[in-house]
Amino acid sequence: MTRRGRFAPTPSGLLHIGNAFTALSAWLQMRQAGGEFVLRVEDIDTARSRADLAERQLEDLQWLGIDWDEGPRKGGAYAPYEQSGRMPLYEAALDRLSQNGRIYPCYCSRSDLARVASAPHGLSSEGGAYPGLCRELSEEERREKAALKPPATRFMMAQRPVTFSDGWAGEVTFADDAVSDFVVKRADGMYSYQLAVTVDDAAMGITDVLRGADLLDSTPRQLALYEALGLTAPSFTHVPLLVDANGERLSKRDHSITLSSLRDSGMTPEQLVGVLACAAGWIDRPTPLAPADLIPHFRPINEEGARDRFTLTDSLWRLLLSAT
């Protein structure tokens, strides 16, 4: 079976060099394996996503030298490649979960959950572990609460540890917060990242998911969804995040260098690829290279002695700053 990987950016900001590193890694994994590479736009959050930013991201990826076999501007057998056009698939998945008794309405507000939480914990992007307040409500109690506010839809986890093998981290086990019930559809009708990414990866035949280590703790939830939906899960590889010389991760929310700013400054894509490859340890000096030049040098798994993070040293950072 042909291996299939993907890169799936959210068009809520310009791509920065951390995003570029993840895209390059996912692309190299598939090109090294002789597989297919898919680009998908994760614009399910319509309040934060912008069409103009999606176009800028595509331009930045093409400038960098990242091509895709399927996706926006190219099409393919699994179109559309924008999540905003795939809503019926998510609703069908919810119907299946409902038939299997794996979801339930949740009427808790953020303030309700804050009152029962003794300290911040759980997945940072989704709040703390859910205490199960609405899991065992009677039908009468649900009717009473529904008269006051529309519910979110929450997925019922099995409440047991989840162990899986990660291409970088090795065997990983998650318990407690990471295996608590979680929202798959918000009260305002927006589908969750966890549901959408699971449905899309399965529908598009993705066999290999390579992404940043910040998403490692989402994997137990997605594996539970794969199982509940009767779908085959891909293999997962969570590569270390690219950090600056102070060990701080790069983010759209700070002033990290964007690909657009580097393009406008006159930096060549080969120069940037060389910096990223040197930070990852794939080459020993920041020699300008095209992405295809790195295919034989890419290391898709955590080999003995490999780094637990990829650092832009002061010298590499100065190379980038000199271009801007």
102 is in an annotated binding site: no
Q: How far is CA 63 from CA 4, 47, 311, in A?
A: 22, 27, 23
Rounded Cα–Cα distance for residues 302 and 214 (Å): 16
Residue 102 exposed, middle or buried by CB count within 10 Å (0-12, 13-18, 19+): buried
147 is in an annotated binding site: no
252 is in an annotated binding site: yes
Rounded Cα–Cα distance for residues 137 and 56 (Å): 47
Tokens 């400054």 — which residue?
265
| Residue 46: Cβ within 10 Å count | 10
291 is in an annotated binding site: no
Q: Which of 74, 149, 185, 252 is catalytic?
A: 252
According to DSSP, the β-strands at 182-185 and 152-155 are antiparallel
Q: How far is CA 193 from CA 90, 201, 273, in A?
A: 11, 12, 29
Rounded Cα–Cα distance for residues 139 and 147 (Å): 12
Rounded Cα–Cα distance for residues 122 and 287 (Å): 41
Q: Is the distance from CB of 234 to CB of 165 less than 8 angstroms?
A: no
8 is in an annotated binding site: yes
191 is in an annotated binding site: no
78 is in an annotated binding site: no
74 is in an annotated binding site: no
278 is in an annotated binding site: no
Rounded Cα–Cα distance for residues 264 and 323 (Å): 9
Residue 252 known to be catalytic: yes
Rg of the Cα atoms in the chain: 21
Tell me the catalytic residues.
Answer: 252
Cite the annotated binding site by residue number. Answer: 6-10, 42, 106, 108, 130, 134, 193, 211, 252
Cite the annotated binding site for L-glutamate by residue number. Answer: 6-10, 42, 193, 211
Cite the annotated binding site for ATP by residue number. Answer: 252
Cite the annotated binding site for Zn(2+) by residue number. Answer: 106, 108, 130, 134
